[in-house]
Every structure is written in structure tokens, then in C-alpha cells.
Chain A
Amino acid sequence: MEKLVTLWYGSGAYNLTLGQAVMIVVGMVLLYLAIAKKFEPLLLVPIGFGGILANIPEAGLAISALDQAIEVARPAVLQQMASALGAALDPLAGQEAWRATLKALVDNGASPDQLRAAKDVAMNVGYGDGLLYTFYQVAVASGIAPLIIFMGVGAMTDFGPLLANPRTLFLGAAAQFGIFATLFGAVGMSAMGWMDFSLEQSAAIGIIGGADGPTSIYVSSVLAPELLGAIAVAAYAYMALVPMIQPPIMKLLTTKREREITMTQLRPVSKLEKIVFPLALLMLVALFLPDAAPLLGMFCFGNLMRECGVVERLTDTAQNALINIVTIVLGLAVGSRLMAESFLALETLGIMALGMVAFAIGTAAGILMAKLMNVMSKMPINPLIGAAGVSAVPMAARVANKVGLESNPHNFLLMHAMGPNVAGVIGSAVAAGVMIKYLG
């Protein structure tokens, strides 16, 4: 009978907290959106599943060996860890109180040496870092996974349309206004006392407006790791919603006549130009914004591999096998941040709301910039392609194309929209660099 009771105490059903149950449902919802609704399935399937794994009670997949030991270890081990941390446990208080004391000590108060000693104790009795925790440390906390994905994106990106019509870079720049307006919005919400975001957190939230998953994850891993889960989920969810968020804004801000504008055909771009471009971009980054070097450096590297044409095997790996592997690891690692304690907070709602605003403002700014350019220059620009300035490659460009076709069935804007679209990628990486420079 006693054995049975022990088994029951160790079971998930006994230990499940309300928060964990809610987060498991959230994970299921993400899986539903990914599988049934096809919302960015490549990322939301791993993220949703990772979120479920991270919330399995007692399993500790998403926490370090030390935290895991504190949560489930026997009293004798707790005593040992307490002595390693240089604290005494009150023998009268119960086990739960001991665990709370240790947790508080580890979170703040213990020196790095003490933490290492306590971790050794935990490791010695057989506790190990959780799988998702390890993924997170290796892939996301180090910044590696988003950067490798960026390299893969570089290897997939054709800069031809951009090189043929470099002015579309301005559209990509204008759409980044969404990032900074959202940053200001987050700061404003804190100033009004609705939320409590620091400037770093506001910047990380703003970058959702860049509509660029890897950039968002990279920036928040540097500036606000505690919000990473919510930010990544918001970024990918809204990227999937681009076809629903953008068209109403596009139609609101343009007249039918503007939407019908046909653009002159793009000139062919030579291979040499395409090879020189990533190198030129890299030089500009080196000269003006070294803080964007990790992101844009990997991006340029991937693109150079693609365009130079002599390392096809590497290009193939970067844009297929490697990016797929990293996507799995990154998705699970991001999912591990969907733990109840950190995700179920008012802040998450704020982030979701701000993320939506970021997309909308970015889209509007891109369109307005295109209209402005139309007034100032002779070459006609269809304002719809301005909306593609929020990166979300290539979804935003396809949306611009689709809305254009609705007004004029013979007007294919896709290639024209790819220009601002990839410009948006560069623009949001530059914006990320500025923020990291200013706040990092």
C-alpha cells in the first residue's frame, strides 16, 4: 500500500499544477493552429510540442539539474545542497519550505562558486540538465540557432529584384517604423502603469514588428531572455496571420487606381553584381554597425555561398538539411520557454497586443512611403509593394501580389514586391543592431 501511495505522489496527475495544465492546453492550441490551420507549421509544431514537454510535471525537461534537484530531491540531498550554498535549513520547517528557501537562494543571493558546488551535488546524485534546457542553452542562449537560420535564409534569398530596383530599400526601411513605434508603445504602457516593461524588454517586443522570426529570437535572447517564449510565439503567430492582417490596411490606405499601377519590368541583374552585393553589404556593416554583424554577417555569408556558384554542396546544406535541423532544435528550445510561471502573465497579453500593432504600423508605414516615392519620382511604384517591406519573406510579397491581382488581374507584383521584402530583412537586422548597440 505504501508503495502505491509513493507511486501516486510521483505521478503527473498528483503534481500537475493549474498553470501547467493551462500551458499544456496552450501547447495543444499551438499544435492545432499549426496542423489544422497551417500557421507556420515548421515552427509552431516544434514550439507547441516543446511547450507541452516543458510543462510535464516532475519531468523537469526545461530546467537545469539544480532546479530539478531542488524540486524533487530527497531531504538528505536538500541538506547537502543547502550546505553547498552556505545556508542552514530550519529543521522544523517542512520540506516545501526548504525547497522554497533553496529556490530563492539560487535565483538570487548565491555566488557563482556556491552555485557550481550545489550543481555538483545535484549532478552527483544523478540529476541532469533537462533536454530542452540543454537545447535552449546551446542553441538559443548562445545566439547560435537564430544565426544559422539567418545563414540559411541568406542562402535562399535572391537579391536580384532588389539590385534591379535599389530604391525599394526605402520601403524596407520605412516598414521598420513598426518596430520603433511598438517600442515606444511598450514604453508608453509602462509609463501609464498598465504594464511593467523595461526599455530592453520594450525593444525586444518592438522587434516583433520586424516580422522576422530569427531576428526577434536573437534580439530577445540578448536583451530580454525572460520574454523570449512570448515574443517568439507572437512573432511566428503574426507572421502566419500576415495574409489576414495586411490586406485590410492595404485597401484602406490605397485607392483602386493606385492598386492598379503596373510597374516597369525589372532589368536583368548580372551574376557578378549578385556576388559583389553581399560583400558590399558586409563592408557597410563592418564600417557602420558592427553590432549587426552577427545577423547580417551570417546572412551575407549564406547569400555569397548561393551566388558564387562554386560551393553548391554548402549552399544546399545551409538551405535544407542544416536549417531543418536547427529549426527543430530552435523550436523545441523556444517551446521550453513556455513554462507556466513565466508565460501566464499579464505581460504576455501585452506582448500579443503590441505585436499586432507592430505589424499594422509597419505595413502602413511601408505603404505610405511607397505613395510618397510615387509622388517624388517618375518611375511608377505600386504602393501595395510597400506593405512587403515588413520582412515575413515571402508571405508579405505574396500578399502584395494577391491584392494587386484583385484590382488588376494582369498585374503581377510578386517580383517587384520581393525587393522591399528582402530589404525588410536587412532593415530589421539593422534595427536589431541599433537596439543592441544602444541597450546591450
Chain B
Amino acid sequence: MQDFELLEEGLTLMALGMGFVFVFLTVLVMTITLMSLLLRRFAPAPVESAASGAARSAPPAQQDEEVMAVIGVALHRYRQRHRR
């Protein structure tokens, strides 16, 4: 009988916990989206648009993407090695 109660409690906690995690992160997604929208509308980053404009004129986009990815991986590995 007690076993059954324990199972039931476990199930409740599972449903409650999973539900809450989803609700919380959904709210977080909405908050982030809203925040990004507001910030980009009212405080657009001037440096960034200039930089991306300059970058766009230079090499072809596809190569650019690849280079970015390679740099990303390299940076990541470097950080990996030097932290923690």
C-alpha cells in the first residue's frame, strides 16, 4: 500500500516537475523574444550594422560562413583547453 503511495508521489512529482520546467522555459522564450525585439527597435547596435555592412561587401557569403564556422570551432577548442 505504501509502495503504491510512493509511486503515486513519484508520478505527481514527475508531471509537476516536467510541466513546470516547460512552462518556465516557455515564459523564458517569450521574455527573450520580447526583449530582443524591444532592444533591437529602441537601441539598435550602431557598431554592429557598420561592421556587418563592411563584411558583406568583401568575400562571397558561402566562404564567409565556412570561415566563421571554422573560427568558431577553433575558438571553442582553444577555450576548452584553457578553462576550467
Contacts and interface: CB of A to CB of B under 8 A. Distances in A.
Interface of A: 42, 156, 162-163, 166-167, 169-170, 172-173, 176-177, 179-181, 183-184, 186-188, 190-191, 193, 199, 202-203, 265, 268-273, 276-277, 280-281, 284, 288-289, 319-320, 323, 327, 394, 398, 401, 410, 412, 414-415, 423, 426-427, 430-431, 434-435, 438-439
Nearest to A197: B6
B31 A184 contact: no
Interface in B1-46: 3-4, 6-7, 9-11, 13-14, 16-18, 20-22, 24-29, 31-33, 35-36, 39-40, 43-45
A140 B14 CA distance: 27
Contacts of A167: 29
A415 B70 CA distance: 11
B16 A412 contact: no
Nearest to B30: A166
Contacts of B29: 166-167, 169-170
Contacts of A319: 83
Interface residues of B, number: 45
B35 A435 contact: no
B83 A187 contact: no
16 contacts: A156-B79, A169-B29, A170-B29, A176-B18, A183-B10, A187-B6, A187-B9, A187-B10, A190-B6, A270-B39, A276-B35, A412-B72, A414-B73, A430-B21, A434-B16, A435-B13
A183 B16 CA distance: 12
Contact of B13 (A156, A203, A327, A414): A203
Nearest to B11: A184
A265 B55 CA distance: 15
The 4 nearest A-B residue pairs measured at CB: A187-B10, A412-B69, A270-B45, A191-B3
Interface of A is mostly: helix
Contact of A173 (B10, B11, B22, B68): B22
Given A156-B83, A272-B45, A176 B14 contact: no
A280 B3 CA distance: 42
Given A156-B84, A277-B32, A173 B45 contact: no
Contact of A438 (B16, B69, B73): B16
B18 A180 contact: yes
Contacts of B25: 169-170, 172-173, 423, 426-427, 430
Contacts of A431: 17, 21
B10 A427 contact: no
Contacts of B9: 187, 199
Given A270-B40, A430-B25, A438 B13 contact: yes
Contact of B21 (A156, A176, A183, A191): A176
A166 B18 contact: no
B69 A276 contact: no
